Chains A and B, each alone.
Chain A
């Protein structure tokens, strides 16, 4: 997540103090992403250095300084909002690795492995849903963060469902003859993020 851009977004509403920015950052992200005050001032320092924000020229550091966004900061913020993040290559997901590996380890029931992950993910989704039912009902930012997390976890569960079906089908198919090696899977040519 880009802290500098979120701070620029908060400054686009008007001039603000560092502590105020931290509070608004946390409230605006449903308090799911905590931010320490040192990080706020370091980021503000960099934004000022790069000409994206400016402060009152009081000669003081720390909580007395008020920051405002510059014209260049507004341009950079607008461009960032419209630039999609890089999702071209699949992330190196530990869960995906575990299921891929489980299918190859002798004596391991991949369905049992999948079940353990599915139960854990469902329990996490129950927790997020409790949050949605409670605090997030009156907090739009939190509701959006919770929805995003629920859709992400839901997608992982759907992938587990699909993986289970594929593994069951593969187990039911007769093994390929040794003279006809399987073609290299397309995924091998894809780079992985991280």
Chain B
């Protein structure tokens, strides 16, 4: 498949070039990913859809440098991950990449503000500065009023907002989300996607893995994965006005 179209000259925050990943050995070799090309630029949200076992989660863990590809190259903010020293790679993960998980993964003993500030504190940012950035992130996600609350005192929707705040805190450039709406109802799940999309509008690049078409539809581009290969992608559709005038096709 040809590479999804890009704006000429746009800087890619994430770039996968011919990425393949295999597990096991012949004859039981499993091709989780086969020659995947994907480029995500600043401010863009890309959704990855596909059936179970299509390679969606593998793509995300490789993009997040948590796993290495068998072949091909991954570049984050123009820096190739291959051959990068372990410490430098860990730093890149802490400073540049934010993760949103299906089950939120907030630390129960920390308040919402402490959870949001945690990645910066782990990265050695002085506590007052980390806390201020954590609060700013909570503010942007509309949960500053819950700063002193613990995760078990928050609703599911609030917990996921705190998790997104933690993922974008500081100067994160790349957001990676695996089924980020968890078990939320459809209205709250849509709200989570709206918040992720707003984060992108502030300049973050995001890759969201989901099996849910309604959530994927929030993305600027949807790529379809099947048996480890990219089989298709949406092109930028016309604006929504065309729906009201019957000019969709």
Contacts and interface: CB of A to CB of B under 8 A. Distances in A.
A165 B240 CA distance: 32
Contact of A122 (B51, B217, B238): B217
Contact of A131 (B51, B194, B216, B243): B243
A19 interface: no
B237 A132 contact: no
Interface in A112-142: 115, 118-135
A132 B191 CA distance: 11
A123 B235 contact: yes
A126 B234 contact: yes
A50 interface: no
Interface residues of A, number: 29
Given A127-B237, A129-B217, A118 B242 contact: no
Nearest to B248: A124
Interface stretch (B27-35, B94-102, B132-140, B218-226): B218-226
B151 to A, nearest CB: 28
Interface string B196-228: 010000000000000011101111001010000
A31 interface: yes
Contact of B214 (A134, A135, A150, A165): A150
Interface of A: 31-32, 115, 118-135, 150-151, 153-154, 157-158, 161, 165
16 contacts: A32-B243, A119-B234, A122-B216, A123-B234, A123-B237, A124-B243, A125-B213, A126-B222, A129-B218, A130-B239, A133-B218, A135-B240, A151-B214, A153-B213, A154-B212, A158-B213
Interface of B: 49, 51, 190, 194, 197, 212-214, 216-219, 222, 224, 231-235, 237-240, 242-244, 248-249
